[in-house]
Amino acid sequence: MKLMRADMGEVTAFVAATWAIAKLGLHINLSVVTLLTENMPSGKATKPGDIIGPMKGLTVEVDNTDAESRLVLADALTYVSRDFKPHTIIDVATLAGAVLHAFGHVCSAASVEDESLWQ
């Protein structure tokens, strides 16, 4: 966990971009939701085998505690979809394990369902 401080970079970039958009007075409809968690070991930490109930109403058994951010992200996406009803959601997350394995430290990954959004 010592080297995981860099995981804060994505949210910092989005907060800075949101501040710049507001400061420039750009006329766009933008909502930014940031996920801030503390990943610290304790007696209340999520453990393998725990059953949790995410916001969507399903139950999930935790198998790998290293993937806890995916569960937080799922709640955020449920919240944004349900409460904001957005036209587009852009998710910037540090789910980096698979990307790091596939690409190493040379690039990032992106995925879109709408080619025009990518362009």
Q: Measuring CA to CA, which residue among 90, 96, 97 is closest to residue 112?
A: 90
Q: Is residue 43 part of a domain?
A: no
Give CA–CA dist 3/16, Å, rounded.
23
Q: Measuring CA to CA, which residue among 88, 87, 81 is closest to residue 55?
A: 81
pLDDT at 4 over 70: no
SS3 category, 60 = strand
pLDDT, one tens digit per residue, over 6-38 is 667 777 888 899 999 999 999 999 888 888 777
Q: Is residue 44 part of a domain?
A: no
Rounded-to-10 torsion of CA 48, 10, 32, 68: 0
SS3 category, 116 = helix
pLDDT, one tens digit per residue, over 58-101 is 899 988 887 777 888 889 999 999 999 998 888 877 666 777 78
What confidence score (pLDDT) does residue 117 get?
Answer: 86
Look at phi and psi of residue 118 and say left if phi exceeds 0, alpha if psi is from -120 to 50, else beta: alpha
> Which range of residues forms the domain containing residue 53?
4-38+49-118
Q: Is residue 98 part of a domain?
A: yes
Q: Measuring CA to CA, which residue among 71, 70, 91, 67 is closest to residue 81?
A: 91
Count: domains in the chain: 1
Q: Is residue 102 part of a domain?
A: yes
